[in-house]
């Protein structure tokens, strides 16, 4: 029986729709896991810097994989509409696959390819699968903020056919190969995107056969309406009003001010970024699609974290950014490292929500990633050419993170990527793919902001080359000048530091050469603390010291906890110290 025509009010059919909804989420999760299993680059197969989802024929996202990053998923949620504008559904044919890395119609920078595959049941289009991943290289200046226009940042592929029933667009493949430094990895990832969509398509058709449905129309309406209703219910529980928050971040050559004004009403939440700094001359600008993605994610994490992510839940979170600000940079502004600024937005909007929710939200965290992007040999642009002639050619992108902010009732997470959710890449993977040796990778003691609940710790990495040649890094770091802020009396996290082993300081952004005799030391920020540190349980402080997370000096200075030589609490001295603080 085709249940798509039956009345949705029937409770049995409501249960039936819920079962199919769960199954649809399982389908897109298998799509994402396939991409990770067959992906070529470390960002895909090790870090999980991907997204996968299924859309109805109007381009509305019905389900997203649990695996993936908000910047990819939420921006991809809007991207499919651009594909349909270029290739209307009435013109699509079986066997066609579409592709782009347009930063303004995809997911924010040229390093992300988005692939869309229409799904036909017989001769009828029933759905679209989309997936995104970050490729290791796209040519140009490489993965860094040094470019002054998007034209310098690499190969720009407008929305076009990747394949048709007659086969793959080999001309496109040859153009990609000719413009990137790692053609095997990049082309492999593109095929992986198409392959994971194919797996999703097959699983969807199998699901439709199993449940006896000819279209996703009724199921789609059920998903979107239920998600919309649940999100709206959560919004209506919030205090109504307008709340404003500002955040100063490092920027490239000068600090940036991020400003958000949030209005909570009965029909949704509006966030206006007017007052934010203008676009930068360097590649830290953020296309609006990426701004919308991470700002929406930050709001949703607090107000409706358990409601599935789809068009129904996202449509109630409305973002607005003037065109003269860094959060809505237009073509041809450079945008290669848009994540450095864009990933600050959850902290920014959560700061607005803290005013509405009596500060029952986390403190600020590192937020932006602290990835090791290193390269050598002929890949290196600014190094001495004679020395580079004898150097091994390599490109590695290894994902790493600082600490998250403390949470209500819990400490922050150490060395954990929030809001992106990507995984740290094992050092063995980096060492296997390059001449680099990671001498040290450990928690950064005392980096978490003190508080009743402690901020998560950053980490320290020390990197050298085994080759008799210099290598280069592209630094894309923030929270060096302006650290993650504590909340409710909690202390700020420790700011990040980028330096050489000899002690010389490096810039937090931009390409820099590391001499062959030097080590580069990456000290990642810690998250902010939450609540008065002198209200933290002394036994927890002693435990932190015993585990090497907090020093004895910081225990007494920041928490008023005096420890004996065996790291047990001297309760009398602690009580006296804390009374003196009060």
Sign of CA dihedral 412, 418, 422, 425: negative
Write down the pLDDT at residue 4.
41
Question: Is 339:43 a contact under the CB 8 Å cutoff?
Answer: no
pLDDT tens digits, one per residue of 379-401: 555 545 555 566 788 889 899 99
Write down the pLDDT at residue 389.
61
pLDDT tens digits, one per residue of 118-133: 999 999 999 999 999 9
> Could you tell me the two tokens for 377?
């040999």
What are the angstrom distances between the C-alpha of 103 and each of 257, 326, 335, 550?
A: 23, 14, 8, 42
Q: What end-to-end distance do the CA atoms of the chain give, in Å?
A: 72
Whole-number average pLDDT of the chain = 93
Domain boundaries, the chain: 3-229, 362-533, 538-581
* Residue that the structure tokens 């649990």 belong to: 66
Question: Is 528:365 a contact under the CB 8 Å cutoff?
Answer: yes
> Could you tell me the two tokens for 281?
């001359």
Q: How confident is the model at residue 324 (pLDDT cuts 50, 70, 90)?
A: confident
Q: Would residue 104 be called left, alpha or beta, if left means φ above 0 and alpha means ψ between -120 and 50 degrees?
A: alpha
DSSP output for 225-262: HHHHHHHHHHHHTSPPEEEEEEEEE--SSS-EEEEEEE
pLDDT tens digits, one per residue of 438-474: 999 999 999 999 999 999 999 999 999 999 899 999 9
Checking if the pLDDT of 580 tops 80, the result is no
Phi then psi dihedrals of residue 181, to 5 deg: -85, -20
What are the angstrom distances between the C-alpha of 141 and each of 138, 145, 179, 509, 521?
A: 9, 9, 11, 14, 23
Q: How far apart are CA 276 and CA 258, in angstroms?
A: 5
Sign of CA dihedral 571, 576, 577, 579: positive
- Sheet containing strand 394-398, edge to edge, reads 394-398, 372-376, 471-476, 509-514
Indicate the SS3 state at residue 581.
Answer: helix
Q: How far apart are CA 277 and CA 198, in angstroms?
A: 42
Percent of the chain past pLDDT 70, that is, above it, reads 96
Write down the pLDDT at residue 391.
74
Indicate the SS3 state at residue 397.
Answer: strand
Q: How confident is the model at residue 74 (pLDDT cuts 50, 70, 90)?
A: confident
Q: Which of 115, 89, 126, 101 is nearest to 31 (CA)?
A: 115
What are the angstrom distances between the C-alpha of 184 and each of 362, 434, 517?
A: 42, 16, 31
Question: Is 194:162 a contact under the CB 8 Å cutoff?
Answer: yes
* Residue that the structure tokens 């992510």 belong to: 309
């Amino acid at each position: 029986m085709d249940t798509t025509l039956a009345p949705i009010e029937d409770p049995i059919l409501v249960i039936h729709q819920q079962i199919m909804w769960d199954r649809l989420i399982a389908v897109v999760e298998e799509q994402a896991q396939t991409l990770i299993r067959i992906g070529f680059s470390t960002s895909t197969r090790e870090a999980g810097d991907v997204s996968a989802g299924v859309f109805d024929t109007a381009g509305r996202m019905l389900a997203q994989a649990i695996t993936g990053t908000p910047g990819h998923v939420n921006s991809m949620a809007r991207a499919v509409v651009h594909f349909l504008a270029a290739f209307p559904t009435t013109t699509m044919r079986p066997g066609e696959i579409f592709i782009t890395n347009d930063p303004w119609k995809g997911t924010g920078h040229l390093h992300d390819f988005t692939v869309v595959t229409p799904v036909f049941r017989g001769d009828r289009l029933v759905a679209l699968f989309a997936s995104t991943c970050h490729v290791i290289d796209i040519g140009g200046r490489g993965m860094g903020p040094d470019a002054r226009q998007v034209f310098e940042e690499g190969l720009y592929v407008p929305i076009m056919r990747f394949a048709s029933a007659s086969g793959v667009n080999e001309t496109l493949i040859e153009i990609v190969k000719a413009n990137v430094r790692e053609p095997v990895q990049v082309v492999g990832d593109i095929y992986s995107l198409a392959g994971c969509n194919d797996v999703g398509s097959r699983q969807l058709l199998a699901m439709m056969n199993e449940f006896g449905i000819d279209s996703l129309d009724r199921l789609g309406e059920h998903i979107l309406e239920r998600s919309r209703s649940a999100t709206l219910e959560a919004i209506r529980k919030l205090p109504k009003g307008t709340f404003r928050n500002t955040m100063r971040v490092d920027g490239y050559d000068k600090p940036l001010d991020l400003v958000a004004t949030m209005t909570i009403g009965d029909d949704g939440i509006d966030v206006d970024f007017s007052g934010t700094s203008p676009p930068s001359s360097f590649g830290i600008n953020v296309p609006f699609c990426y701004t919308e993605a991470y700002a929406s994610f930050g709001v949703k994490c607090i107000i409706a974290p358990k409601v599935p992510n789809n068009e129904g839940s996202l449509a109630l979170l409305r973002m607005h950014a003037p065109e003269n600000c860094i959060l809505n940079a237009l073509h041809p502004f450079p945008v290669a490292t848009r994540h450095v600024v864009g990933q600050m937005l959850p902290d920014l909007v959560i700061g607005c929500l803290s005013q509405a929710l009596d500060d029952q939200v986390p403190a600020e965290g590192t937020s932006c990633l602290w990835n090791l992007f290193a390269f050598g040999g002929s890949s290196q642009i600014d190094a001495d050419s004679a020395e580079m002639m004898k150097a091994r050619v390599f490109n590695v992108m290894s994902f790493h993170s600082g600490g998250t902010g403390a949470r209500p009732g819990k400490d922050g997470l150490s060395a954990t990527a929030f809001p992106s959710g990507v995984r740290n890449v094992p050092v063995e993977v980096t060492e296997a793919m390059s001449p680099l040796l990671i001498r040290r990778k450990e928690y950064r003691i005392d980096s978490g902001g003190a508080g009743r609940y402690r901020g998560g710790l950053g980490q320290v990495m020390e990197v050298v080359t085994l080759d008799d040649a210099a290598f280069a890094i592209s630094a894309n770091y923030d929270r060096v000048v302006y650290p993650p802020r504590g909340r409710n009396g909690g202390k700020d996290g420790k700011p990040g530091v980028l330096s050489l082993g000899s002690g010389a300081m490096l810039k937090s952004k931009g390409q820099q050469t590391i001499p062959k005799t030097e080590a580069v030391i990456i000290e990642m920020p810690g998250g902010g603390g939450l609540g008065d540190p002198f209200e933290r349980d002394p036994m927890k402080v002693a435990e932190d010291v015993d585990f090497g997370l907090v020093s004895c000096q910081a225990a007494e200075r920041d928490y008023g906890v005096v420890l004996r030589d065996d790291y047990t609490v001297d309760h009398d001295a602690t009580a006296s110290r804390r009374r003196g603080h009060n």
